[in-house]
Amino acid sequence: MAGNSSNISLSSNNVEFCTLGMFILDDIDFDGSRPNVKNVLGGAASFAVVGARLVAGKENSRSVSWIVDVGSDFPAAVLDVINAWETACVIRKDDGRLTTRAWNGYGPNEKRDFKYLTPKLRLEPSMLSDAQVFSKTFHMVCSAERCVFIVQSILQRREKLRREGKTPAYSQNDKRPFFIWEPVPDLCTPEEQEKFFVASRVVDVVSPNELELGMMFGQPGWHEESKFGKDIVAQILASGIGPESTGHLVIRAGKDGSYAFSRGRRLWLPAYHQPNTSGATAVVDPTGAGNSFLGALAQGMVSAERNPAKTIGSILTESAIWKKAMEAWGEQAYVLSSLIFATVAAGFVVEQIGVPHLSTSTDGTNHESEFWNGTEFTERVRLYTERLYRTFEETPQKHLQID
């Protein structure tokens, strides 16, 4: 069943994004609110890759890299979807095992329960190709201890390859890659707090959702307005994010959007989909939205000169609050457009069960356009940014705070 993806040579690719998340086939139980579904293409890897791939676009699709482990029961239709993305995907087939499968159960307020149905096959840093090791960005969903291990392993391996003269031609030799860490929900507990602080100091972005962040500190959830919410953020930033304390805490808050904090700076962005006047919404299933958010965020960090970022810049060029934010973030201003990409990417993922649908069309000049759920990614970036411009002007303090 080796598809095109499995034959891709990574040696000549400029790898910009690599996830160590697992590929999983999901069964989803909606607790009676709608029919349950099975065999859904999922797992943190798939959704993070969708996010990165949306930002990369067709022209840079091969810069998005990942590993997919398939067992004897792997559906051919799922492979067709993966191949259509044209990513640098390494497919490893083992007929002696079943594909990793999991059950997702949803209850009130987007509460999610998760359990594996077959043995999982965890990705180790040692499994990455040399080209993948030199990726510009990495995405991880794991425990704090494993996060530290992954970061150290990748940096040590890069250094070893450099000494051996095996650095890829495209690699920025001395530049440290971006590490984006998504804490695994099961270990967001008070007992893990100190390990959480340690891991946060080795990554560039740490991103729990609001429920996970609350649980980490012994509360049912996180709310920015509460004293508890403000104290947690202050505590994490004081402890430090990143080797030089210049990293970011990005709290994913579902329908309430996202909050990005770094020392002296805070930005809130609303979710892409907002309920209309009747309360109706385009949101069908939130599974994977957080993973896609972070995949897009990571890819955005290295896409500042491309069309989606230029679209944001052209719309917000007259915005006083955006100018203030750009000045405040300085050399890290790429984070701002990356957060917009992340928001838009999550908006695609929630519109159906599973991954968004990719299609293409060719115009009279043989230019091929790419559509996800019938829309170009850059077009949605434009629509969202235009809305953002209006709310920036109406409620600047709600969006941006600089100490």
Q: What would the pLDDT profile of 323-357 be if each residue is shown by its tens digit?
A: 999 999 999 999 999 999 999 999 999 999 999 99
Task: Look at the chain and report how many structural domains it folds into.
Answer: 1
The mean pLDDT of 48-52, rounded to a whole number, is 98
pLDDT over 70, % of the chain: 94
Say what the pLDDT of residue 173 is. Answer: 58
Q: What's the mean per-residue pLDDT of the chain?
A: 92
Is it the case that residue 4 has pLDDT exceeding 60?
Answer: no
**Residue 146 reports pLDDT greater than 70:** yes
The dihedral sign for the CA sequence 94, 96, 99, 102: negative
| CA torsion angle 277 252 122 202 (round to 10) | 160
186 contact partners, CB below 8 Å, separation of at least 6:
none
Q: Provide the pLDDT for residue 13.
A: 61
Q: Give the predicted TM-score (pTM) of the model.
A: 0.94
Look at residue 168 in the predicted model and tell me its pLDDT: 81
Nearest to 378 by CA among 352, 348, 341: 341
User: Cβ distance 280 to 327 under 8 Å?
Assistant: no
What distance in Å separates the CA atoms of residue 121 and residue 299, rounded to the nearest whole number?
Answer: 25
pLDDT at 6 exceeding the cut of 50: no
- Of 5-9, 48-52, 88-92, 367-371, which gets the smallest average pLDDT? 5-9
Rounded mean pLDDT, 186-214:
97
Confidence of residue 113 (pLDDT cuts 50, 70, 90): confident
pLDDT at 284 over 70: yes
Could you tell me the two tokens for 396? Answer: 């600047």
- The answer, yes or no, to whether residue 19 has pLDDT greater than 90, is yes
Cα–Cα distance between 52 and 252 in angstroms, integer? 17
**Which residue did the predictor score with more confidence, 106 or 216?**
216
Domain that holds residue 237: 4-402
Contacts of 107 (CB under 8 A, 6+ apart): 31, 113
Each residue's pLDDT tens digit, 53-93: 999 999 999 999 999 999 999 999 999 999 999 999 999 99
Sign of the four-CA dihedral 350, 196, 335, 267? positive
Is the Cβ–Cβ distance between 266 and 318 less than 8 Å?
no
Closest CA to 153 of 140, 166, 165: 140
Q: What average pLDDT does the segment 141-150 reach?
A: 98
Cβ atoms of 253 and 210 within 8 Å: the answer is: yes
Phi/psi at 201 (nearest 5 deg)? -80, -10
What CATH number did the domain enclosing 340 receive? Answer: 3.40.1190.20
